[in-house]
Chain A
Amino acid sequence: MLDNLSLFVQYPPLAFDVVLNGLLIGAIFALAAYGMALVWGVLNIVNVVQGELVVLGGYVTFVAVQWGMPPLLGLPLSAAAMFCVGWLIYRAVIFRVVDRDIFISILATFGLSILIQQLANALFGSDVRTVDADLGSVHLFDGMVTLAGIKLLAFALALGAGGALWFFLRKARLGQAIRATAQDPRAARILGIDTDRVFAMTYALNAALCGAAGSLAVMAWTIHPYLGLPYTVRSFMVVVVAGVGNVAGVIAAGLGLGALENVAGFVFGVEFQIAFVFALMVIILVWRNAMATRKRSHLE
């Protein structure tokens, strides 16, 4: 462990490589986290099935490429397919738990997450899957730092999608309806906004974001059926740190998490990387609670 740490100091380009690759992966986390923040803010539920939507999005691209589709076209396809899946999930389950006790929605989405995880396992097998986007790599510092082209593209697309969403929420009519519903669903209903439709659109939009994130993940990294929960927890962590409704914060926290996780994976060993993600979340929650109660005050 200390050996790995000292490697960083001896070879700065290596540290640079690890951090930079982490940042690029972090863009994918930010994308999924942005969807979670949206659903959390508007529907007031913590969507535990988030990570499975990401993984499912990855499988859509994987299957499409196997049928001969160019990898990059998999991205819009995944987003579109997951938009439909999200709509279906909302109509089947989510709308029944929207205004109920928060634990019911957590448990219901947790059940969905097991369901989709196991379906994915049954349909696609438990193998680790990846798609070669065939974009080559960029080498810096005499090849000591390697950046895959797809990771750079993923980074740009994730930021672009975040920006587009921000613009959509502010300028488009539906986006404004979503924001109004997030602030006060009752008032929005009185003003003639069909909140049920807004909820459905928001959830479907979230699923589309997850689909895009999953498509990028399968091209830049790997997916397998059991990677859902880590994505859920990453998204949750990012939203808790950044706050619901803070686009720039979510992107910054997502990138930071990606870098931190990559460094931790390097220092502690890859076999502890998932443990690190989950432990980090616990630490963040404990820290957040300790800070809030430090001076008499309570959290909501």
Chain B
Amino acid sequence: MSVLLDVQNVTKRFGGVVANEEVSLTVKRGEIAGLIGPNGSGKTTLFGSIAGAHAVDGGDILFEGRSIRHLRSAPIARRGLLRTYQQTRIYDDMTCTENMAISAREAQGGLLSLLRPVPRATNARAGDLLGFVGLYEKRDDRAGSLSFGQQKLLEFAMALMNEPKLLLLDEPTAGINPTLINGLIDRLRRANTELGVTLLVIEHNMRVIMNLAHRITCLAHGRVLAEGVPEEVRNDKRVLDAYLGVA
């Protein structure tokens, strides 16, 4: 498998606080990679650095072999790298279908291509994907009126609508009804296998991530603590210590 995302020694400081220090990790094409670590270990900051939300202070980020370190979020998204947010972000005052339609890949085009109605095929695909996450019944509802968990699913569907090569998911199961988590894991897997989307997932729920990910990286205090297949990471004493607060 070829390397899709290559994060090389990325350092990010906020004022005097070092959020990420010399973090390196790779994501291979077609896999589901996990990113874990205690609260405040710099996972979301790393997502921000990769997806272009803020400048990084050192290191480089390669996507498909090309540096995206100096790109902003929009051109990065157009190259096929998307992220979702921990505090779900959707377009509140638009319907679910509209949220989906404006997330389609062709909406990233220039002005002239935007000055046309939404193609029938796009709406059909939006309906399919809303069905995929179980929101088809809600397709004409205002997105802001959905529950938190439903908004999270909508955001996931919007990302899929964009047909990304790599999708960064920030805690996809947080705030989701526990009885629905297994269904969600199944959908993440199907997105990976059937739709061919490579995933990098931040997750706090150990059961979920051990089940889902092919490989896991663990951050602590802004540094990479351990990485490997789930069993290795689970049995790594340093990871346990980090979570229990010994390190």
Contacts and interface: CB of A to CB of B under 8 A. Distances in A.
Given a CB threshold of 8 Å, the question of whether A touches B is answered with: yes
A298 B52 CA distance: 10
A295 B71 CA distance: 9
Contacts of A296: 52-55, 70-72
B217 to A, nearest CB: 23
Interface in A286-300: 295-298
Interface residues of B, number: 7
Interface string A202-215: 00000000000000
B152 to A, nearest CB: 23
B71 to A, nearest CB: 8
Give the secondary structure class of B's interface: loop
Most buried by B among A295, A296, A297: A296
A296 B73 CA distance: 8
B179 to A, nearest CB: 33
B53 A295 contact: no
A246 to B, nearest CB: 16
Interface residues of A, number: 4
A298 B55 contact: no
B142 to A, nearest CB: 17
Give the secondary structure class of A's interface: loop
Interface in B52-89: 52-55, 70-72
A295 B72 CA distance: 9
A298 B70 CA distance: 13
B5 to A, nearest CB: 17
Contacts of B72: 296
B68 to A, nearest CB: 10
A295 B56 CA distance: 9
Contacts of A297: 53-55
A300 to B, nearest CB: 12
Contacts of B71: 296
Contacts of A295: 55, 70
A298 B54 CA distance: 7
A298 B51 CA distance: 13
A225 B72 CA distance: 47
A298 B55 CA distance: 9
Contacts of A298: 53-54
Interface in B17-38: none
A72 B77 CA distance: 63
A45 B85 CA distance: 28
Contacts of B53: 296-298
Nearest to A297: B54
Nearest to B69: A296
Nearest to A293: B72
B57 to A, nearest CB: 10
Interface string B40-58: 0000000000001111000
Interface of B: 52-55, 70-72
Given A296-B52, A298-B54, 12 more contacts: A295-B55, A295-B70, A296-B53, A296-B54, A296-B55, A296-B70, A296-B71, A296-B72, A297-B53, A297-B54, A297-B55, A298-B53
Interface of A: 295-298
- Give the 7 A-B residue pairs with the shortest CB-CB distance, closest first: A295-B55, A296-B55, A297-B54, A297-B55, A296-B72, A296-B52, A296-B54
